[in-house]
Amino acid sequence: MARRRQGRIVMLLAALCLLVTLAVDRLATRAALREGQARAEVTLRQTVNALEGHIRRFEALPALLARDDEVRDFFAVPQTAAGIDSMNLWLKATNDLAGSSDLYLIAPDGVTLAASNFDRPDSFVGESFTYRPYFTDALAGGTGRFFALGTTSGVRGYYFGSPVRDGSGRVIGVVALKIGVDDLEAAWRSAEYEILVSDPEGIVFMATDPTWRYRGLLPLTAERVARTEASRRYAEIALAELAVQRASEGRFALLSLSSGGVARDYLEVERAMPEAGWTVHVWLDTAPLRGQARLTVAATVLLLGVALSLGWALWQRRARLAERIALQAAAQADLERQVAERTADLTRANEELHRMQADLVQAGKLAALGRMSAALSHEINQPLAAARNWADSAALLIERGEVARARENIGQILSLIDRMAAIARHLRNVARKPEEPLKVFPLAPVVADALQVAETRLKASGHAVQVDLAPDLPLVRGGPVRLQQVIVNLLSNAADAMEGRAGEIELGARAEGGEVVMTVRDHGPGVAAAIADRIFDPFFTTKTVGSGLGLGLSISYNIMKDFGGDLRVANHPEGGAVFSVVLMAAGRAEGGMAAE
């Protein structure tokens, strides 16, 4: 009877253990997937920000060039060989300064008249691009955007197209610009995730695994293939579907990919980029996540087994103790000895349990440290990539014999190195989008950050900056990152104006009614009256050829207009130019909320 009862208890305990194990497995798996999804979404957000930043860096340039008088005149008159040669050289110089892949001018009939790559075997000159949407959209008066594999160069790129209009508003040509994506894609291959970017038809054109390129994540229907072939987006490359099977587990998007006879399971997060027409996908291999869940289950089963064993031992001990007390009172001493031994066993088991818990906590700390290191490495990779670009450009300039410009590039590299030393303190500002919303903030920290960014340039010029900010300045309205860009640009221009002259650059700020006026004064030759009205126009510059595109003050002026403020210039009575940055002061209510 007793044995039958014990058998039923064992069966009940076994069933309970099985239910607990299944429940823990489900909870641990969902927790591991939730943690993996959170990490993948961070990578997704960083990847989308990097792609958007890369595109926005160049998206305004075609429209600015389309309004340039030299470009308008080129389309307005019949082209001559000398005129085309001159425009080819101008486009090449502009393209090199901008850092884009290719820059070219297309006639209304779709034929390329001039291009920055005129001297390369894969030159666009003479090529017809009537089939490209970025050309047809621009020719219709809009802004063209398109991603494709170059039919002439065989190189992937993102294309912009802007219409060139004559005085009557008629479209007389198109300015086209191409930017590459290979460097961005190469940076992904060091990550622990699989990253893919697909077009509106679901076809992958960027991926950490090159074999996934030009493969469809969606069924390649006849309509999708026809639309892709009509635009010649991928030239003559044969398209195929990626062997993906999708599933879901609660709120988690899961998929299985078969490649080379091996199937791998991934957790997927994705985000659309509407302006570019792209969708960014981040895939995380679920094998490590499920392995982590299995470890949790194993630890739980182990702890449960220990607890059940201890419980069973205690139950058995009580039964034996009652029997021995009833049968033999003389065995009391021996029974107490056994109790002491069992207590010692329990103490050792508890100590072992605490040690295992401490080991798990330490493992969690090490995992968090690894994730933090990976994030910091990703942030440092961006200025490193920029430094590499400057170094490549410097090497090219040295080969051309342009030593002075090469020194400027080396100075930029040194500035990036100094900037990386402050990555930890400025990580939050670096991660913000360039087009940040207007907010209320104090002016002094923005000035301090701008001085740090411009430090290398100012040291090279040999000019110090005298800062005089009123102590009780109200909060201002705008964008701190873009305002920092304006201040850095004005300090750089002041240093250029004082080249070969002694004196300090003076930076001050004061409150005037409902505004805060910040001034930057140099001790240079000042601004001539003949150019004062044009100094904020795009591509207007008094610097020597090759020293800049003349966009800095124009961009700064537009930034201040976006803030609802102004950017003005005047000559100081004692000599030199004074640039005044006018910012809207925040109201008392807004200032109180910002302080809170």
As given in the structure block, the two tokens for residue 498 are: 């004082």
CA–CA dist 545, 450 (Å, integer): 27
| Phi, psi dihedral angles at 243 (to 5 degrees) | -75, 80
CA–CA dist 85, 582 (Å, integer): 44
Write down the pLDDT at residue 25: 65
What tens-digit pLDDT sequence spans the chain (596 residues)?
666 776 777 677 677 767 767 776 677 778 888 888 899 899 999 989 988 898 889 989 999 999 999 999 999 999 899 999 999 999 999 999 999 999 999 999 999 999 999 999 989 999 999 999 999 999 999 999 998 888 787 888 899 999 999 989 999 999 999 998 888 888 887 667 889 999 998 899 888 888 888 898 888 888 988 888 888 888 778 888 888 888 777 788 888 887 767 888 899 999 999 888 899 999 988 888 778 777 877 887 788 778 777 876 887 788 788 788 778 887 788 878 887 888 888 888 778 876 775 465 345 434 434 534 544 564 466 567 778 887 988 899 999 888 888 888 898 888 778 667 554 444 444 334 445 678 999 999 999 999 998 898 889 888 899 999 999 999 999 999 999 999 999 999 999 989 888 889 999 999 999 999 999 999 999 988 888 888 888 777 777 655 555 678 888 999 999 999 999 999 999 999 999 999 999 864 354 434 33
From the number of C-beta atoms within 10 Å of its C-beta (0-12, 13-18, 19+), residue 289 rates as buried
Asked whether the beta carbons of 505 and 491 are under 8 A apart, the reply is: yes
| Encoded amino acid at 55, one letter | I
3-state secondary structure of 160: strand
CA–CA dist 50, 520 (Å, integer): 32
| Phi, psi dihedral angles at 307 (to 5 degrees) | -65, -45
Which residue bears the tokens 């490590």?
288
Q: What angle do CA 194, 195, 200 make, to 5 degrees?
A: 135
| Encoded amino acid at 493, one letter | N
Write down the pLDDT at residue 82: 92
3-state secondary structure of 280: strand
CA–CA dist 32, 300 (Å, integer): 15
Residues 6+ apart with CB under 8 A from 472: 511
CA–CA dist 158, 176 (Å, integer): 10
Please state whether the predicted TM-score (pTM) of the whole model is above 0.85: no
Q: How many whole angstroms from its chain centre is CA 229? A: 31
Write down the pLDDT at residue 430: 37
Write down the pLDDT at residue 557: 93
Nearest to 495 by CA among 450, 471, 459, 453: 459
453-487 burial code (b ≥16 CB/10 A, e <16): bbebbbeebebebeeebeeebbbbbbbbbbbbbbb
CA–CA dist 248, 11 (Å, integer): 35
134-158 burial code (b ≥16 CB/10 A, e <16): bbbbbbeeeebbbbbbbebbeebbb
Point out which residues pair with 160 in neighbouring strands: 145, 177
Write down the pLDDT at residue 211: 87
DSSP secondary structure letter of residue 331: G
Residues 6+ apart with CB under 8 A from 450: 484, 487, 488, 491
- CB count in 10 Å sphere of residue 348: 10
Asked whether the beta carbons of 503 and 560 are under 8 A apart, the reply is: no
Q: Quick one: three-class SS letters along 178-237? A: EECCHHHHHHHCCCCCEEEEECCCCEEEEECCHHHCCEECCCCCHHHHHHHHHHCCCCCC
DSSP secondary structure letter of residue 342: H
Asked whether the beta carbons of 523 and 576 are under 8 A apart, the reply is: yes
Q: How many whole angstroms from its chain centre is CA 231? A: 29
Write down the pLDDT at residue 85: 94
